[in-house]
Structure 1
Amino acid sequence: MLAEFEHYLKAQTGLPEETIRQVSSLATKHTLRRQEPILSPGQVCQHKAFIVKGLVRTFNLTADGNEHILQFSPENTWTLDVESYDKQVPSLVNISAIEQSQVLLWHKTDFDALLTAIPAFKQFSERLISRNIYYNRQRILTILGGTPEEKYEDFIRTFPTLLSRLPLHMIAGYLGMSVKTLTRIRHAQLQRS
């Protein structure tokens, strides 16, 4: 697990191997079973998680049982509840594995120490945050102004490898539409092909 992360970090940052080993040495390895949570509502987010293998989702459940998916995190991505982590307040979201997943977890105090000790790692972290902000802004604009067809097309462009890994109800929960609407869109798309 650490070797995959170290390869990722080297490719993304160009940090020296000794520094990369310093970062990975503070990680805790964890294997998640399918549907196993790493964060539940009411808990305070204490860790940043890197997905080595598998697929994780961040979501909220409404009182009537509808699932609103905020984010999918496949291999080589990071996840956490930013507000809970930064402010150390109870989380409003769930983060759980869609499929069996291998993750690395850094406790907040350890990760903060790494950011202080390694300026280049802090710059890398800031770039990831900026990229996430840009993506989320674009997603909000698509969700607010796009037709259901445009939302689905955007999903296909953004996550082409996830289509075969996700059940329809999760894709619908991410796009903010019913499974019935998503099925209609997919059927129409297949007929055009």
Structure 2
Amino acid sequence: MELSFEKYLKEKTALPDSAINTIKGLAIPLTVNKNEFLLQPGEVCRHKIFVETGLLRTFSIGDDGNEHTLQLSPELSWTLDVESYDCETPTRINIGAIEPSNVLLWRKADFNTLLHELPLLKKYSEQVISNNIYFSRQRILTTLGGTPKDKYEEFTQRFPHLLSRLPLRIIASYLGISVKTLTRIRHAQLHP
């Protein structure tokens, strides 16, 4: 059986099998339990993370104790704290598992070597970064100018497969609204 990461790279890139094997060979496989953290405030993000199975969440906790979900990373997606990783400074965020997850980690030096030696991987990596920037910009615009209903509708369009996998408190923290508001929106959709 072909592993999901290898299948993912074959579908997304034109990398030959030998390059895929090289990339996979430098990966550190890790199983993460539900509610276990890969990164916590004060630590330096030292790895790029690919989610093979499961679901991760990148979030911060405000001074008031409220959680603010910045990113959801389901299977076949990448995550890291870019600022901490690039600048090698302590992070202010958490990356934790919402579900039991299997991930692959690459040390920064190893991944930089791969990018240097494999131009097709570098090109694909740049596409992933660009797509994340485009999505983040759209999310910021919706967050700043959209109603709670607009935010929820955009979420359901982007992540329909996650609705049944996420507790309401995490969806609400991703949208920047209260659980009470989210419950009211969902109730109105079910009972027009």
TM-score interval for Structure 1 and Structure 2 normalised by the shorter chain: over 0.9
| 1:69-124 superposed Cα distances (whole Å, 9 cap, x missing partner) | 00000000000000000111110100000010000000001000000011110000
Equivalent residue letter for 1:182: L
2:54 partner SS: strand
Contact 1:52-1:75 at 8 Å conserved across structures: yes
Q: Is the 8 A contact 2:14 2:120 kept in 1?
A: no
How far apart are residue 2 of structure 1 and its match? 7.8
Residue of structure 1 equivalent to 2:157:
157
**2:103 aligned partner:** 103
Q: Distance in 1 between matches of 2:156 and 2:128?
A: 22
Name the structure 1 match of 2:14.
Answer: 14
Structure 2 gap segments, 5+ residues each:
none
- SS of the aligned residue for 2:45 comes to coil
Unaligned runs of 5+ in 1: none
Give the SS at the match of 1:99: coil
What CA distance in whole angstroms lies between the structure 2 residues aligned with 1:89 and 1:123? 26
Task: Output the TM-score relative to the length of structure 2.
Answer: 0.98
Question: Identity percentage over the alignment?
Answer: 59
**When the two structures are aligned, how many residues end up with a matched partner?**
192
SS at match of 2:71: strand
Instruction: After superposition, give the CA deviation of every residue in 1:40-69 in whole Å (9 maximum; x if it has no partner).
Output: 011000000000000000000012210000
Aligned to 2:178: 178
Distance in 1 (alpha carbons) for counterparts of 2:181 and 2:79: 29
Looking at structure 1, the residues matched to 96 and 2 of structure 2 have their Cα atoms a distance apart, in angstroms, of 21
Tell me how large the CA RMSD over aligned residues is: 1.0
**Which residue of structure 1 aligns with residue 51 of structure 2?**
51
Return the letter of the residue paired with 1:72.
L
Matched position secondary structure for 2:3? helix
Structure 1 residues 2 and 110, CA gap change in structure 2 (3 angstroms): farther
1:145 is matched with 145
**1:45/1:90 contact within 8 Å kept:** yes
Secondary structure, aligned partner of 1:64: coil
Question: Structure 1: which amino acid aligns with 2:152?
Answer: Y
